[in-house]
Structure 1
């Protein structure tokens, strides 16, 4: 497939991608009231920081795409759990940041995740580091013969929304375009810088 001349320029020649999608959620009630849930747009603004490439260990790279979206998951019984998310893609890494507004505690969840998941503390809160894989989807231009399968290795970090681990979490996931397993130290470095900037995150006393 052909592309425009701009598509062949170096990433560093392109302006940084700006967040798209995921309109900020309006809080009900009094003006100025903080929303109970963070939106995809707010997650994108927190993730798409000017030093993100440096945190990833690839200084000089420029984000190609950045966006946020809302979302939800329905469980048996009709209960709906909101799962807003954001994604920033570079030439080397892709990083996602999401929030889960359920009541499941992060503490003790390592046994459920498998894949060598390890329980630890991050920013003073219960957290779990585990390995995963992206999903690869291929399809013809006419939309027929869609196929899916395992993609590249990914590393994920789930952190409780509060120090008590009373339920809900934030999750940072990253993977490399070349399929190399991401460095856990890089994942932790990104999470420790990004998560405290998410609206609603408060320092635990």
Structure 2
């Protein structure tokens, strides 16, 4: 909790729980998002930090956008779904999918100025000739509407704003410290008997799939 202390949240460390442990996954995410927004973080950045796309292995991603995701990944682990999330801070209305993209989210803009987003087609009665634009929110993508200006922001628009808001690339170069190790260093560790190994694997939640498909 101390990581989130600032001038707007000076006493947050005194709270028993920032995120409730008895409610649903959605309520826990809502708690965390509320903390970030109350602390002064912009909505798009907050949700991108909490539910980022699968950015690590995208070779075509620009250096500035990669720096944004890498910097924010150092603050918390991603909240993965499968999930389709809709939210608002009173001005921005946002829909996004997690990196798996298993929840359908289709949107339509009509001539009367309405934008409809739902998992199914036909939730709003409109004529085909009244459609101005339509599409879908894909895995790790976002769609936002600024209710004050009427501007519709797609994933690229939001990413362009986020990557240029702060000098993330310079911050990483100047301030980030990376831990590096070689496999030869493992020789310093003592071998374990079967019972001790089983206890350690259970303690650190090493699954059979990880042992069979990753470690082996």
What is the TM-score normalised by the length of structure 2?
0.26
Higher relative contact order (CA 8 A, sep 6+): 1
Scaled by the length of structure 1, what TM-score is found?
0.27
Whichever structure has more helix as a proportion of its residues is 2
Which of 1 and 2 has greater Rg?
2
Structure with the larger strand share: 1
